[in-house]
Amino acid sequence: MRRFRSVAVAATVAALTATSLAACGGDGDDSGANVLKLWHYESANSAMGIAWDRAIEIFSDEHPGVEVRFERKAFEQIQQNAGMIINSAEGPDIMEYNKGNATAGLLSSQGLLTDLTAEATERGWDKALSPSLQTTARYDKGVMGSGNWYGVPNYGEYVMVYYNKELFAEHGVTVPTTLAEMTAAMDTFVAKGVTPLGMSGAEYPAGQLFYQLALSRADRDFVNDYQLYANPVDFKADPLRYGAETFAEWVRRGYIAKDSASLKAEDMGTSFISGKVPMIVSGSWWYGRFKSEISYDWDSFLFPGNTMHAGSSGNLWVVPETSKAKNLAYDFIDITMRPEIQALIGNNGGVPVAGDPAAISDEKDRKLIENFNTISGQDGLAFYPDWPVPGYYDVLVSGFQGLINQSRSPEQVLDAIAKPYQDGVAEITRD
């Protein structure tokens, strides 16, 4: 018994002394800061992870007296608690954060992020980024597209069609250039008993395919209405109606497997990697992984016939208002915009925002970037379907599971996704 008691006492003492070693950043005076706390959540072997590691090295060379305290974070943690983290004295001096109204927009409207407008003009970031990439960097009362700069994107992303060249050759299918050719190609596969499109109903891919289909009938005005609330959006009219109806038709015709409602994006990706499906419609974030894991011959093409494509800038570098080393943070952002770092992103399967395709050695990588520049040049980045209102991601997932399961009609699904959108927009534009 005595032993038990002494253990209990020891543990209590240990618990009470286990207060954290709260890292003291630099002092309030910025110019003298000698620590840069930097957080991001890209994996070490991703294009961004590799490029930013190099950026940290360069930064350390150029600021010999400064210690960079880098921490790799869980995406979930930043996603969920960014407001709490930035609102405390424990946060970083610079961090990666998601672009969009519900994330960077919300925090900027609450005065938690530093206004970077002056830096952007002075350091020429505003010249390096095309106007459609700047959309996600600038926020006015929390709505993206105009106003001050609150973040700086380093890379771009867009949705395309990945295809298995060997399966195409085997079934005598050529790369489609119009939506009609695309459906003809898929009919060929279905006739051979092959499900042409890999799909994931439990995560983002279903919503993105629906959006791509809708965008085949849409222009920039629609995107401004849908994403920036310029005008009310009618869900029962084209392009959204066309998107939902065509999606349902693709399920009916067997282009999409009827048992994909519960599949995660990871399952869709691995089914493409293992050569089970000839095509998937998904984003450039897969590129690096496909390059390293796929053993057959594969390539990608832009979603046929569309001028508008789901895509945007990547995540942003933001500087919290509580940052104790703002000037150092600006220097770091500037380094990530340099051609050397941008080329690193491009050479590792990422899409640089200020890159020169000529600096990219690998032919596939170059094509990825050229395609992005094509979209960006024709002002064709349409962002993502789940962006307009917080929590819309799950609404879309739930809706399109209904179409994949054929338990609901396109009409019902459009109704189901219209209401949360309208409620959310009303909430955002209330003030």
- What is the closest distance, in whole angstroms, from the C-beta atom of residue 99 to another protein in the complex? 11
- What is the closest distance, in whole angstroms, from the C-beta atom of residue 379 to another protein in the complex? 25
Pick between residue 149 and residue 400 the one whose CB is nearest to another protein: 400
* Dihedral sign, Cα of residue 419, residue 424, residue 427, residue 428: negative
- What is the closest distance, in whole angstroms, from the C-beta atom of residue 122 to another protein in the complex? 29
* Dihedral sign, Cα of residue 405, residue 407, residue 409, residue 412: negative
Pick between residue 189 and residue 286 the one whose CB is nearest to another protein: 286
Lookup: tokens for 277? 């499906």
- What is the closest distance, in whole angstroms, from the C-beta atom of residue 57 to another protein in the complex? 18
Pick between residue 86 and residue 213 the one whose CB is nearest to another protein: 86
- Is the omega angle on the peptide bond into residue 239 within 30 degrees of 0, that is, cis? yes
- What is the closest distance, in whole angstroms, from the C-beta atom of residue 390 to another protein in the complex? 5
- What is the closest distance, in whole angstroms, from the C-beta atom of residue 113 to another protein in the complex? 11
Pick between residue 64 and residue 430 the one whose CB is nearest to another protein: 430
- What is the closest distance, in whole angstroms, from the C-beta atom of residue 342 to another protein in the complex? 20
Pick between residue 120 and residue 273 the one whose CB is nearest to another protein: 273
Pick between residue 81 and residue 374 the one whose CB is nearest to another protein: 81
- What is the closest distance, in whole angstroms, from the C-beta atom of residue 182 to another protein in the complex? 24
Pick between residue 207 and residue 239 the one whose CB is nearest to another protein: 207
Pick between residue 97 and residue 332 the one whose CB is nearest to another protein: 97
Give the whole-angstrom CA distance, residue 248 versus residue 406. 8
* Dihedral sign, Cα of residue 76, residue 197, residue 371, residue 44: positive
Pick between residue 41 and residue 387 the one whose CB is nearest to another protein: 41
Lookup: tokens for 118? 């002056």
Pick between residue 60 and residue 77 the one whose CB is nearest to another protein: 77
- What is the closest distance, in whole angstroms, from the C-beta atom of residue 43 to another protein in the complex? 6
Q: What is the dihedral of CA 260, 261, 264, 269, to 10 degrees?
A: 30
Contacts of 175-183 with CB under 8 Å at 24 or more apart are: 175/301, 176/301, 176/304, 177/304, 177/305, 178/304, 178/305, 179/216, 179/304, 179/305, 181/304, 182/304, 182/305, 183/255
Sort strands 94-97 and 138-140 into parallel, antiparallel or unpaired: unpaired
With tokens 């994996």, the residue in question is 43
- What is the closest distance, in whole angstroms, from the C-beta atom of residue 156 to another protein in the complex? 15
CA 327 → CA 66, 78, 210, 331, distances in Å?
Answer: 12, 23, 43, 6
Pick between residue 112 and residue 215 the one whose CB is nearest to another protein: 112
- What is the closest distance, in whole angstroms, from the C-beta atom of residue 210 to another protein in the complex? 15
- Smallest CA-to-CA distance from 125 within 137, 115, 142, 114 is with 137
